[in-house]
Amino acid sequence: MIKELVQQYLANRPRKPGETIQFGWFVFRIVDDAQPPEIESLDFRQMASYTTDFSAAEQIHALQRSALARCDRKEQECALWHSAVVSLSYSPAREDAFLKRDTPTDANDSGWYVGVRNEQRNLADVTSFARRSLYELTIRDMRMAPFWLLPHGTMVTLATGEMK
């Protein structure tokens, strides 16, 4: 389904093989200029790895739509190349990890913060944090994938998927 939507979007637009395009939260790569154009999706297994299998993109798209429906909120745009501020205490699959979305500070910022409960690091020290792309975070911890489109002011407990 998402592949067909991207192909429809590209149908009357200039394009070249090798180019990437953003479509919603995702980025796709144009393989050839056929009609419809052949495209690839990121595989969400490793950085910058493309595939003709759209199952991961389809799954993430469905999870994002479901999260928005569950909390009855409207989508707040962002893309997988946007960054999040991440506590250096966070590690993938950590049970006390959470997401909190504030207003973005610049064009590359999603507004998302990835933190842990009972943070032991100094929150006033900028060296306690790093910037990571939403794509990188998703590859490392797929629990985050459903929530990236939730609006500013949202908080998510990753272990349970509870949204506030």
Q: Residues 55-82: pLDDT tens digits? A: 999 999 999 999 999 999 999 999 999 9
How many structural domains comprise the chain? 2
CB 27 within 8 A of CB 54: no
In a domain, 17, yes or no: yes
Same domain flag for 44 and 91 = no
In a domain, 43, yes or no: yes
**Three-state DSSP state, 14:** coil
Residue 9: per-residue pLDDT: 95
Percent of the chain with pLDDT over 90: 95
Confidence of residue 160 (pLDDT cuts 50, 70, 90): very high
Enter the pTM of the model.
0.93
**Three-state DSSP state, 18:** coil
Q: Residues 90-101: pLDDT tens digits? A: 999 899 999 999
Q: Domain range spanning residue 87?
A: 77-163
Q: Closest Cα to residue 3, out of 45, 69, 50?
A: 50
Same domain flag for 40 and 87 = no
In a domain, 68, yes or no: no
Q: Closest Cα to residue 22, out of 9, 33, 37?
A: 9
Same domain flag for 26 and 97 = no
User: What is the CA 37 to chain-centroid distance, rounded?
Assistant: 24
Residue with tokens 């794509």: 135
In a domain, 72, yes or no: no
For the segment 127-149, the average pLDDT, to the nearest whole number, is: 98
User: What is the CA 139 to chain-centroid distance, rounded?
Assistant: 9
Same domain flag for 85 and 40 = no
Residue 123: per-residue pLDDT: 87
Same domain flag for 115 and 147 = yes
Same domain flag for 54 and 6 = yes
Q: What is the mean pLDDT of the chain?
A: 96
Same domain flag for 24 and 85 = no
89 phi-psi bin (left φ>0, alpha ψ -120 to 50, beta other): alpha
